[in-house]
Amino acid sequence: MTTDVLDRIKKALTGRDGIDIGHFQWINLEMIKNEVGEQWIEVRKKIYSVSAQYIEKRLAKEDVLVRCRGGFILVFATLSGADAARKTAELSNGLNHYFLGDRILKNLEISSQSKELSVNEFAELVKRSDVSQAAEIGQASQNAIKTVTKKDAAGNWRDIDRRSASSAQRDLSKHKSPDIPAPAPAQIAKDLPPSIDATADLDKLSSLPFKVPTAQWDEIIFKPSWDAKFNYITANFCLPHRHHNGQELYGRQTLLGNDDPDILQAMDHAVATTAQRGFLKQLTGGKKCAVVIPVNYETVIGTQDRIRYFSILQNIPQAQRKYFYIRVDSIPDGAPIGQMEELFRSMRIFGSNLLAKIEPGTVRLNRFENCSIAIYCSSLERKWARTGLSEGVIKKLVDQAISIRRIGARGALTQVDTAEQLQFGIDAGYEIFTGAAIGKDMKSPAPLIEATLQSLLSKAA
């Protein structure tokens, strides 16, 4: 790195309280490396040189582009906030489209983030990203601007992941997401107040970012769930609800068999948005809760559709994602194993637990072996609350619980409406329950509430 670049970084930062950057990273270089073999060194040089030329031609004169491991860090001299975020997304999209015309690099893909950092955070990012002369950049930053306190710097992450429409044919299986440990109930109850200003994110969630057909559901509600392992009402399942011909319908049932992909996708987008708003409203009131966000397999199996859905999930800051669980519904029996593994792997960054909804009586779970599923859910049929569970149903559910425990996962039953069903679930080995026996539908997610089996059985009797 030349002295000129260091001087430009210092100049860009002079007199500013914070640093707005764009962070660009290649997410499938390994795939390109495997394809080109011995040509890799030359191809890598081409990737960086062409990318740098493309980006620099579209920057303000005072902006500074620095190469780092796996991509670039862009220091904005004049842009900040939403303007910096838009510019980062624009450059990322443009670069992805630019490479489509190259025979070798047409499958190359870049992801991006826009961030506002304190001086110390910027220096740490530079160091962590293996930027040459990291120490000199850090010192130049310290000399140029004053340090922003942690309180001031918090809440300013604006995650962006914009990729070209052609990415539907791309293999993202090499891209690994970090695990997010799930919080125990005690941690949810005793957590220190969050370091973010959650109200800052509510504006992003006031409406869906995409066109929504006329909703076929009446409302989106939260169903509290009870965890028998901890004896607490913990996570809240966020679901569409519809009252139809004297019946209470939930989830996909509210569509009355309508499989229009646009309506199904709109429903899943609305659920994700409502789940986040509910969580953030509780957070601003000083309460912690956990939320399960269901999404249908069809909504997220296409890469471009998945990116649109993930753009909603990204509104929750990283530190708060441990309070979210993602459940995939309507997984077809013939879904390719590799496709499922890629899908669940890409979802891990958005929640602390991954759930899969399976039909009651499912015992063959080997296709989920490498999907990191923590909880398998099945829904009881509503008529079983009146008729009771037949011997055939009991055997199927018991065998399923055994299969789930055998692979080290947890079992959940939803639509548990009677004390008898709850007691059966406990005896069979299930650990997580939702339904009328646990609690009523709610407009907002319930905070952590201690509840024993006996108290729930007494209330449901």
Least confident of 52-61, 190-199, 417-426, 427-436: 190-199
Q: Are residues 156 and 189 in the same domain?
A: no
Q: Per-residue pLDDT averaged across 27-47, rounded?
A: 76
Q: Per-residue pLDDT averaged across 69-82, rounded?
A: 83
Q: Are residues 197 and 130 in the same domain?
A: no
Q: Per-residue pLDDT averaged across 380-400, rounded?
A: 95
DSSP 106-162: TT--EEEEEEEE-HHHHHHHHHHTT-TTHHHHHHHHHHHSPPPPHHHHTT-EEE---
- CA torsion 122-127-130-132 (nearest 10°) is 90
As a whole number of Å, the CA-based R_g of the chain is 24
Residue 373 inside a domain? The answer is yes
- Confidence band (pLDDT; 50, 70, 90) for 31? low
On the question of pLDDT at 187 being above 80, the answer is: no
On the question of pLDDT at 44 being above 70, the answer is: yes
Answer yes or no: are the C-beta atoms of 172 and 27 closer than 8 Å.
yes
pLDDT of res. 91: 87
Q: What is the pLDDT of residues 136-150, one digit of tens each?
A: 555 555 554 443 333
Number of domains in the chain: 2
Q: Are residues 417 and 303 in the same domain?
A: yes
Q: Are residues 154 and 244 in the same domain?
A: no
Distance CA 313, CA 81 (A): 19
Residue 164 inside a domain? The answer is yes
pLDDT of res. 173: 35
Residue 363 inside a domain? The answer is yes
- Confidence band (pLDDT; 50, 70, 90) for 211? very low
Q: What is the pTM of this model?
A: 0.59
Q: Are residues 393 and 274 in the same domain?
A: yes
Mean model confidence pLDDT for the chain: 79
Q: Among 145, 128, 109, 2, which Cα is nearest to 64's? A: 2
Q: Are residues 364 and 265 in the same domain?
A: yes
**Residues of the chain by 3-state class (helix, strand, coil), percent to 5:** 45, 20, 35
The domain that holds 233 is classified in CATH as 3.20.20.450
- Confidence band (pLDDT; 50, 70, 90) for 261? confident
Write out the residue range of the structural domain in which residue 444 sits.
Answer: 185-460
Name the strand (E) or helix (H) holding 88.
helix 81-98
- Confidence band (pLDDT; 50, 70, 90) for 318? confident
Q: Per-residue pLDDT averaged across 40-64, rounded?
A: 85
Domain boundary among 122, 144, 169: 169
pLDDT of res. 210: 44
On the question of pLDDT at 204 being above 70, the answer is: no
On the question of pLDDT at 423 being above 90, the answer is: yes
| Cα angle 70, 162, 299; round to 5 | 120
On the question of pLDDT at 199 being above 80, the answer is: no
Residues 6+ apart with CB under 8 A from 342: 171, 172, 173
Q: Are residues 149 and 201 in the same domain?
A: no
- Confidence band (pLDDT; 50, 70, 90) for 383? very high
On the question of pLDDT at 238 being above 90, the answer is: yes
Residue 103 inside a domain? The answer is yes
Q: Residue 316 to residues 47, 196, 205, 272, 416: CA-CA distances in angstroms?
A: 32, 11, 10, 11, 30
- The position carrying tokens 């303007």 is 83
Domain boundary among 169, 203, 222: 169
Q: Among 288, 289, 286, 328, which Cα is nearest to 306's? A: 328
pLDDT of res. 4: 65
Residue 417 inside a domain? The answer is yes
Q: Per-residue pLDDT averaged across 300-305, rounded?
A: 85
On the question of pLDDT at 160 being above 60, the answer is: no
Q: Are residues 117 and 207 in the same domain?
A: no
pLDDT of res. 287: 85
Q: Are residues 160 and 223 in the same domain?
A: no
Least confident of 110-124, 251-265, 300-314: 110-124
Length of the chain measured in residues: 461
Q: Are residues 431 and 321 in the same domain?
A: yes
Domain boundary among 137, 169, 201: 169
Comparison of pLDDT for 105 and 347, the residue scoring more:
347
pLDDT of res. 193: 31
Least confident of 12-16, 51-55, 75-79, 168-172: 168-172
Q: Are residues 28 and 59 in the same domain?
A: yes
Residue 180 inside a domain? The answer is no
Residue 176 inside a domain? The answer is no
The domain that holds 19 is classified in CATH as 3.30.70.270
- Confidence band (pLDDT; 50, 70, 90) for 207? very low
Residue 177 inside a domain? The answer is no
Q: What is the pLDDT of residues 76-120, one digit of tens each?
A: 888 888 888 888 888 887 877 777 666 566 667 677 777 787 766
Comparison of pLDDT for 83 and 441, the residue scoring more:
441
On the question of pLDDT at 130 being above 70, the answer is: no
Q: Are residues 321 and 374 in the same domain?
A: yes
pLDDT of res. 283: 85
